[in-house]
Amino acid sequence: MRKILNLLLLTMMFVSGCSTTEPPSPTEHPPTLQPTEAITATPAPTEVSLPEGSTLTVHFIDVGQADAALVLCDGQTMLIDGGNAQDSSLIAAYLKKLGVDYLNYVVCTHAHEDHVGGLSGALSVAGAGTVYAPETAVESDAYDNFIRKVAEQNLQITHPEHGSVISLGSSSVQFIGPITEATDDVNNTSIVLKIQYGQTSFLFTGDAEYDEELNIVDAGYDLSADVLKVGHHGSDSSTSYIFLRHVMPKYAVISVGKDNNYDHPNEKTLSRLRDEGAEVFRTDLQGDVIATSDGESISFVTERNETAQTNPTEVKAAEGTYIGNINSKKFHRPDCNSLPAEKNRVYFSSREEAVNGGYTPCGNCRP
């Protein structure tokens, strides 16, 4: 019996001797791998359950050949661009009409006057929480006024890092561009951001062109979005096929001026949007465009011309006839809603005849 007890004692001592390694200190942690610049540092916004009665509304404000969008979600607000300097009073009046006297976020996508100009008007009638802009600035009265208005509110410009995420009410906002500002093209320094609200999403692109679009695609961001604010007013230098293949928008909103001198929106851009199957809304034809999401679906209301042909396919005019306006020197399709009075009309049997006669195509019906 004593031998058995001794044997058990020796066994316990042996087991105890095999557990002499001290446990790791609670303050010690394995090294954390840091993400590289080319990898998204912060996860993309994810769908979250929305509180009862929550909505997100985006007002694409008609500021002509410029950009301005006001985002409202659960009592919080974000203004993305403000149009030209001459639009300052328009933006101020729009905010007052909606009872907005505080902007949680103000985003200047880039320093060009048709995006930053009207922000000074907004900052004159509304307080602001955080103001975002790229590091790249330009020397202009419009940009200087913007900086001055920010300083008057004792604020500083914040340069968002791509990949960073903020909250706007029940929505998440991720900054995904610019990846770099090492460029001579100010358009390609544009802040690009994606708003995720429930199962719906909106992508704002400023004036980002092919180079920035490709940088964002290469960075691996989730660009899929229900609504695309089309880059650079529909210029052919933006909204590339490769970018569209990653976004796959159901809807596209083009902020553009009527009869502008830049051929915006360009027919090539409109063609790419047709190929993608996106329903197009345009401020030049429809005025203010308002999109409302309940987290599952998105509905649109336009200031006017709800059924306007915003992206018609290339078709020949009926009976081969085109109608010119002897005053404006524009020519139209016979079904255009901008036809001149009969006394001011001239008729052409072909498009070539109209062009050779010194007439230019109507920006609405695009003959």
Average pLDDT of the chain?
A: 87
Give dist(CA 333, CA 294) in Å, integer. Answer: 39
Which amino acid type is present at position 53?
Answer: G
Give dist(CA 233, CA 347) in Å, integer. Answer: 32
Residue 159 has pLDDT above 70, yes or no: yes
Q: How much is the average pLDDT of 235-253?
A: 97
Q: What is the pLDDT of residue 349?
A: 84
| Selected residue with higher pLDDT from 259 and 80 | 80
User: What is the band of 37 on the pLDDT scale with cuts at 50, 70, 90?
Assistant: very low
HSE, CB side, 13 Å, CA atoms: give it for residue 361.
15
> In the beta sheet, which residues pair with residue 131?
106, 157
Choice among 42-46, 87-91, 115-119, 326-330 with the minimum mean pLDDT: 42-46
Give dist(CA 324, CA 361) in Å, integer. Answer: 9
Q: How much is the average pLDDT of 329-333?
A: 89
Residue 134 has pLDDT above 50, yes or no: yes
Q: What is the pLDDT of residue 303?
A: 97
Residue 322 has pLDDT above 80, yes or no: yes
Residue 11 has pLDDT above 50, yes or no: no
Q: What is the pLDDT of residue 49?
A: 81
Picking from 242, 179, 246, 160, the residue whose alpha carbon sits closest to that of residue 38 is 179
Give dist(CA 38, CA 55) in Å, integer. Answer: 34
Token pair belonging to 182? 């090492």
Q: How much is the average pLDDT of 272-298?
A: 96
Choice among 104-113, 137-146, 269-278, 314-323 with the minimum mean pLDDT: 314-323
Token pair belonging to 91? 């933006």
Residue 91 has pLDDT above 70, yes or no: yes
DSSP state at residue 30: P
Picking from 166, 232, 158, the residue whose alpha carbon sits closest to that of residue 193 is 166
Give dist(CA 152, CA 155) in Å, integer. Answer: 7
Give dist(CA 155, CA 149) in Å, integer. Answer: 9
User: What is the band of 313 on the pLDDT scale with cuts at 50, 70, 90?
Assistant: low
Residue 69 has pLDDT above 90, yes or no: yes
Q: How much is the average pLDDT of 129-144?
A: 97
